[in-house]
Each structure stands twice: as C-alpha cells, then as structure tokens.
Chain A
Amino acid sequence: MRGATHAKWAAGAVAVALAATACGGGSDSGGGGGGGDGSGVVRSSWGDPQNPLEPANTNEVQGGKVLDMIFRGLKRYDPKTGEAKDMLAEKIDTSDSQNFTITVKDGWTFSNGEKVTAKSFVDAWNYGASLKNNQKNAYFFGQIDGYDKVHPDSGSQSAQTLSGLKVTGERTFTVKLNQKFSLWPDTLGYAAFAPLPKAFFDDHDAWVKKPVGNGPYTVQSYQKGSQMSLRKWDKYPGDDKAQNGGVDLKVYTDNNTAYTDLTAGNLDLVDDVPASQLKNVKADLGDRYINTPAGILQTLAFPFYDPAWNKADSDKVRKGLSMAINRKQITETIFQNTRTPATDWTSPVLGEKGGYKPGLCGKYCDYNPTEAKKLVKEGGGIPGGQVQLGYNADTGSHKEWVDAVCNSINNALDNDKACVGSPTGTFADFRNKITQKKMKGPFRAGWQMDYPLIQNFLQPLYYTNASSNDGHWSNKQFDKLIDEANAESDTTAAIKKFQEAEGVVRDNMAAITLWYQNGSAGYSDKVSNVALNPFSVPVYNEIKVN
C-alpha cells in the first residue's frame, strides 16, 4: 500500500531527528554540597560578557567579575573602603610623580606554575596598549610615555612597545609617564593592569577559551554564553584566599529568571535584583538583601557643541533645570531607594578622605520650583522651547525615570511641554548619536568608576577632549586645576585641588548630577558573608557556604 510506505518513511525521519537531538543531555552539575568546611560551591548569576575575556579588553561588569576572581594586580582595592592597597607590589617609588620604580613581590606564580615577574606586567601592558590588538581599555596606558607611538589616533603604529616601560631586573621595572600624575599608582588596581602569563602570548586562542591567571580562583570550565565554573586554587599565595570551594557563574537570559531561581533555591547569589522585584525583595529575602552604595553616578550631560545650549547665560538654564528636578521623590518612588539623591559629582564610596564632598552642589541640587523658573527665564528660556531628554530604551528601564524627571521639570516650570523624553532604540545607536554630536538636548550619562579616585570622576568626563566628555564641555580653568592636582605630590593637597575643579563644574553646571547608584544583591540561606565591593561586584572570595 502506497500510503503506508510514505508514512513509515515519515515516522523514520522523525525518529532520526529525535535521536540526533537527544544527545547532549547529561547530568545537571548542581553546586551546593560540601558544607561548612569551605569546600562548597557558590552558584551565582552572570550575564554574557560582551567582549573576549582579556584584562585590557573587558570594560563591563560581567567580564570584570571574572577578572577579579582570576587575577591579582600590583594593587587591589579594599572591598570595604575602596582604598588602593599593595597586592603584588612590594614597593612603588617615585621622587617626581612622573618616574616610578616598581618592585614585584617574590613568591607569586600563575596557576599554571609560571612565576609572576616584572616581565609579566610589562608584556601585558605592552599588549594592552598596542593598537593592533584592538584592546578596548588601551587608553588606560595612555599616561605611559610612548603611548602615542604604539596607539596613534589614526594611521598605523610606529612602535611595538611603550618606551616608558623598562624591565630592570627579574622583579623590578620602571615606568615613565608623559606627565606628572601623583595618584597614578592608585590606578594600578584596575583589571587592565593585570599581569599575563607566557601562555597568553604563546597560544592566545586557547588562553581565551580557558583563561589562566594568578588570582584565588582558577577556571575549571568555560562554556561561552552559558556557564563558567571557577574553583579555588589551593596554592594561591595571597592572603585573600577563597573561603569557598568555588563559584559557578550561570548566564541568565533575564535577571527576573535569575531572581525566580534564587527564590526557588536553585541559585545562591543574584547581584542584580530586577527593578520590578524591589517591592517584594524584603518579603522574599529579608536581611539577605544587600543595598549598598557603588561607585556609579547618574548625570545629565548637555550638548555643548550646540550653540543654543552654549550661550553666555546658558548656565542659568542648566542650573534652573537642575533645581526643577525633585531628586528625593524620584529616588523614593521610581527606584525604591536604591539610588540616593546626589549632592556632588563624585560618589560616597570614595569617602570624605578620598574626595567625596556631600553638599558641594549646594542649593542647585535642591528642589526649588520658584527659583528654577526664575533661573530658566533669566537664562533666556529653554533652547527651542523644549528639553528633549535623550536616553536609550533597550536596557536599564531608563524610560521610567526620564519620564519622571520630565514630569518634575514640567511641574516646576508650569509648562507641560517643557520637557519630553527622547528615546533611541538601542544602546549602540544612542552611543553613535552621542559620538557624532547629534544630541538635540540633555541626555543621560551614567558613569561607573574605573578606580575609586576622585580624579576618575572628573578628568575623563569634563577635561577638554577627554575620552568620556560626551557633552564636549571645555573650560580652561577646570583643565588647569586638574593638571595642578595631578602634579601635586601630596595626596590631601591633590584632592583639594580636584574639589576646586569640581567647584568649576558646579558653577557652570557642566552636567546635572542626579543620584548615586547602589549595588543591589540578594542571596540564599545557603551562603553567608556576602558583600558588594565599591564596584557593586560581589566579593566572591569571602563568601562562605554554610
């Protein structure tokens, strides 16, 4: 019978398809186990890193998390205070704030047994700076002499290595900066300055598939885009040894799912509690919810390249807008207190010793509708009659707070057309418009610090032509103060100069400071001693599995 043969064939095909796809099942490598003896594994949520995992190529939190576990650099930022402390550096000497002699501690190795020497650092930094390697954090080496040769703004590089770096012994090397920068040693805790083993250069592809570092953890397995298993490295020589047996980082398609998995007991740590769950988080987790300040500041930048926003009296309009924003109400209602109204342009994580100065903004950050209206009027009114507040609509639920800010402005100015949100579809397109100077009005400008220094909150953002000066603001006095602060050899005096420069930002309202962002995390009752560092990354090595 004709039909029957066809049917058999079809059934056969289905069976083949089933068999072909049935493979790859396997057991679920559940974590847990171990118990209180420090051998338990922490199961933590993760996001898919955007760039390959190389120290000088990782510029977002998800990749940075891993680097923080598998690498230790010359300095390390204290997870509690953010203070830069010597890690692999035995000493960093300088007499003129421009030439540094660095001695690396003895007895450190990479997890493959190779010794960490001065060369491990110099090679890694040369690799990171070199244009041909496309490292997105290359600009971190911009202060080292010879950077313009290995990484010119255009054309091809004329040197392969930084002339400012010299290996002078097995454990010593010298660094020459292209200008004075007294706080430079404190930047060395950033992941981009990590040392690299020979294996990185010998077989780069294999290394990227399974990175080898010198930190408290080693990579046991890495399935890109889905999971990374890190295990405690028993021979780790540092004193910040892992308190647990390892960490399984699981990529989640959605942070809501990660949160659900945490409440169901399949996950131990979520370091990004979704905004929609903030209302339930107290009931779900109780005191296993962390909400601590992080080095993240949200601001509104202005398009200073647009003459309408850069007139003589424009600072009054900007100050007026700042006073029209009810920061307290927005942080309470929209963000459920996971943001704190900002009163300066740095972050509380710096501490007052490090340059954080609450109240520096003064009355301009207080909500005052009458004064706001007056100032905007004195400044000649809003350019074009309407503020178009730019943001990207794809991530971070920016729409909610942008609309709230606009409402606040509209209410304060008694004009329901004074401010509208102006969304851009994707983050990439948003960045594109910013770099091409196409913004029509103020736009959101978040800043996550690279290292806990006041310098990092000012220079990259407001110095003339600096890398993140998205508004293209330029002020001679500010630039001068920054240069002076960098040249200052005494830290306290340097910070004072930086704060003077911050005063210039305030007096011109170069950007409206909005709020300090907190890191928020939740954890299960299987783990304890969970904390977030100033970068809002969990301090994994200190987590204990109960």
Chain B
Amino acid sequence: MGRYVIRRLLQMIPVFIGATLLIFLMVNVMGDPIAGLCGDRACDPATKAQLEKEFGLDKPVLQQYLTYMGNVFTGDFGTAFNGQKVTELMASAFPVTIRLTIVAILFEIIVGITLGVITGLRRGRPIDTTVLLLTLVVISIPTFVTGLLLQLLLGVEWGWISPAVSTEAPFSELIVPGLVLASVSLAYVTRLTRTSIAENRRADYVRTAIAKGLPRRRVITRHLLRNSLIPVVTFIGADIGSLMGGAIVTERIFNIHGVGFQIYQGIVRQNTQTVVGFVTILVLVFLLVNLIVDLLYAVLDPRIRYA
C-alpha cells in the first residue's frame, strides 16, 4: 500500500506541471494585463513599463513560468493587482469554499444515498417513480435557475434566509447555497445508488446473508450497501474537485467570497497570479481527492488490494 501511494504521488508531478503550464499559457494568451488597469485610459508608458517590471511581465512567458513555479515551491504565490498577496486571498477564500463544499457533499451523502437506498429497495413502487421524476427535474434545471428561484422565494418572499451570505459565511448561512450547489450531483448520486443497490440485491452474497438469517438492517448496511457504494464513492470523490472549482455560479448568486469569486475576478482583470495560484491549488485538491477515493475502495471492498 505504501509503495502504491508513493507511485501515485509521483505521478502527480507531471500532471501538476502540465496543468499549471497550460493555465499559465492560456491566461497569458489573453493579452496584456496592464492595459486594463488604468480604466478607459491608456496607462502612461513609463508607469506601464514599471508595472510590467514589477510583475515580471517583461520577460518571455516560459521564463515567467519558471520563476513563478520556483516561487510557488517556496510558498510565494505572487501579488494580485490590488496589492494583496495571493496567499492572503487564498486564506480568505478557501475556508469559505471548503465549508460550502462540505455542506454540498454532506447533502449528497446523506440525502442522495438515503434516497438511493430507499428507491433501490422499492423499485417500481410509487416512491421510486416519484424520486426518479424529481431527480430528472433537478438534473434538467440549470443551477443558476435553482439558485435564483430559491433566493427569491426563501430570501425575499418568505424571508427565511438572507439572500446574500455575509462576509464570514458561517455554516448556517451556507445551507441553501450548499443545497443549490449539490442539487445536480445529488440527483446523480441518488440514481447511481439506486441502480447499484437494485443490481446487487440479487447478488449471491446478499442471498447468503439473508439465508443465514441475518437481520434485514444488517444485510442492507453491511452487505448490500457497502458493495454498492463503490461507484458512488468514485462519483462523490471526483465531485469534490469540481464542486470547489465550479462553484462560480452559486458563489455569484449568493454573494459568497470564495474560490469561484476570486477566479472570476482574476480572469476578468486578467490577473495571472491569482488565476494560476488558485487553479494550482485546485489541481492539487483534485489529485489528492482522487488518491483518497482510490484508497477508500479497499475499505469498502477488502478484495481490492494495492501492491
């Protein structure tokens, strides 16, 4: 197992370098970031040259990349155009987004898997059909529609929640945004669990367990659910990364100052340092979560072994 983990960690290096290089090049291709800094007016040439020097933009792109990566390894992610260290931006944005992601994932796990188990065990019954229809509706409605609708109903019409999340963004305010963020994935988790449970219900080991006279509850949680969860865990694992990076829409609607907001601002202002910095961290999160998911397989199904 140790060798497997080390091999996987080593594999991350080329992926990491490739991903950051691509992002770096893409942001650079978009044009000269200094041009947008002075508003509807050209920066005077001297200030422009000075700023370019300060941000290292006067060097060739590849050299910029190498310097940048060198700095990243010492923990220096550069400075955003508003004079703030990118690490400071991260320190304020990541906890918020992580909290939002946790809320979303919890919704997926608790609601999604429960609904999946219930429908999987009651295939063809009214409850199964209802949930299937509901998930279909959720999947077909874009996130921003769900978000704006909930914001309008719960926030403005009924006044149950505040339509905008405050600066501190505590868990209690993130419940509705988290639900919105999770909605589509939640529907997928339900459907995945349902199919998996329905399939495994007829498996030999379930029949054996029932024949042994084990209580129904134990058969479902220990035998049936555990084996059925493998595809679901894969999905949820991959989802953690995409939820963090893809929260832009939800964060904009509910005024959450998280990673999505920072990346959006970085792109609009063409702030290479911010965009590359945040994406770098996201790439790392993605890779690590995938590793953890792979390791979890062994927990769920002891037959899976890593050399």
In the complex, A136→B81 CA distance in Å?
12
Partner of B270, one of A21, A252, A260, A426: A426
Complex contact A432–B164 (CB within 8 A)? no
Q: Determine which of A18, A139, A257 lies in contact with B164 in the assembled complex, contact meaning CB atoms within 8 Å.
A: A257
Interface residue tally on B, bucketed by range: 35 or more
CB atoms of B42 and A470 under 8 A apart: yes
Complex interface: chain B residues within 8 A of A417 (CB):
none
* A259 nearest CB across to chain B (Å): 10
Contacts of B89 in A (CB 8 A): 225
A49 touches B44 (CB 8 A): no
B216 to chain A, nearest CB (A): 20
A428 lies within 8 A of B256 (CB): no
A24 CB-CB contact with B under 8 Å: yes
- Do B155 and A225 touch (CB < 8 A)? no
A426→B40 contact, CB < 8 A: no
Q: How far is the CB of B267 from chain A (nearest CB, A)?
A: 8
On whether the beta carbons of B38 and A226 are closer than 8 Å, the reply is: no
Render A384-421 as a binary contact track against B, CB cut-off 8 A, 1 for contact. Answer: 00000000001100000000000000000000000000
Known contacts A51-B83, A261-B163; is-contact A426 B252 (Cβ 8 Å): no
Query: Which B34-53 residues have a C-beta within 8 angstroms of A?
Result: 34-47, 49-51
17 more contacts with CB within 8 A, not counting A260-B155, A445-B40, are A6-B299, A24-B95, A24-B168, A134-B51, A136-B37, A138-B44, A151-B46, A225-B82, A257-B252, A260-B151, A260-B163, A263-B156, A394-B268, A427-B268, A432-B35, A433-B31, A448-B40
**Closest CB of chain B to A454's CB: distance in Å?**
18
B19 CB to nearest A CB, Å: 22
State A431–B268 Cα separation when bound (angstroms). 13
Alpha-carbon gap, A36 to B300, bound state (A) = 64
Do the beta carbons of A428 and B299 come within 8 Å of each other?
no
B95 touches A435 (CB 8 A): no
A428-B31 contact, Cβ under 8 Å, with A153-B44, A254-B255: yes
Could you jot down 22 A-B contacts, CB within 8 Å? A24-B168, A24-B170, A25-B172, A49-B82, A50-B269, A51-B83, A52-B82, A131-B50, A134-B51, A135-B47, A226-B92, A253-B261, A260-B152, A261-B162, A261-B164, A425-B30, A426-B268, A427-B268, A428-B30, A432-B31, A447-B40, A448-B40
* Interface-centre pick from A134, A225, A253, A429 (highest chain B CB count, 10 A): A253
Task: Tell me which residues across on chain B come within 8 A of A267, comparing CB atoms.
Answer: 164
User: Please, what's the 1-or-0 string for A242-265, where 1 marks a CB less than 8 Å from any CB in chain B?
Assistant: 000000001111101110110110
Q: Is A21 touching B46 in the complex (CB atoms < 8 A)? A: no
B298 at the interface (CB under 8 A from A): yes
Interface assignment of A370: CB less than 8 Å from any CB of chain B: no
For the complex, give the distance between the alpha carbons of A152 and B156 in Å.
55
- Within the complex, the shortest CB–CB distance from A34 to chain B, in Å, comes to 20
Asked whether A434 lies within 8 Å of B42 as measured between CB atoms, the reply is yes
Q: Please report the C-alpha to C-alpha distance between residue A225 and residue B299 in the assembled complex, in whole angstroms.
A: 42
Chain B neighbourhood of A429, CB < 8 A? 30-32, 35-36, 270
**When the two chains form their complex, are residues B46 and A131 in contact, meaning their CB atoms are under 8 A apart?**
yes
The 6 closest A-B pairs by CB, nearest first: A428-B36, A25-B170, A52-B83, A429-B31, A431-B35, A6-B299
Q: Within the complex, what minimum Cβ distance (angstroms) separates A24 from chain B?
A: 6
Q: Which residues on B sit within 8 Å (CB–CB) of A135?
A: 47
Expressed in whole angstroms, the minimum distance between the Cβ of A373 and any Cβ of chain B is 32
* Nearest A residue to B32, CB-CB: A432
Answer whether residue A22 sits at the interface, using C-beta atoms and an 8 A cutoff. yes
- B252-284 interface bits toward A, Cβ cutoff 8 Å, 1 = contact, 0 = none: 111111000110110111100000000000000
Asked if B296 lies at the interface with its beta carbon under 8 angstroms from chain A, I say: yes
CA distance A153 to B44 in the complex (A): 7
Q: Choose one: B45, B81, B253, B299; the contact of A254 (CB below 8 Å).
A: B253
A154 adjacent to B45 (CB under 8 Å): yes
B168:A253 contact, CB within 8 angstroms:
no
B156:A250 contact, CB within 8 angstroms: no
A475 at the interface (CB under 8 A from B): no
Write out the residue numbers on chain B whose beta carbons fall within 8 Å of the beta carbon of A261: 162-164, 255
8 A Cβ contacts from A1-32 to B: 2-3, 6-7, 10, 17-18, 21-22, 24-26, 28
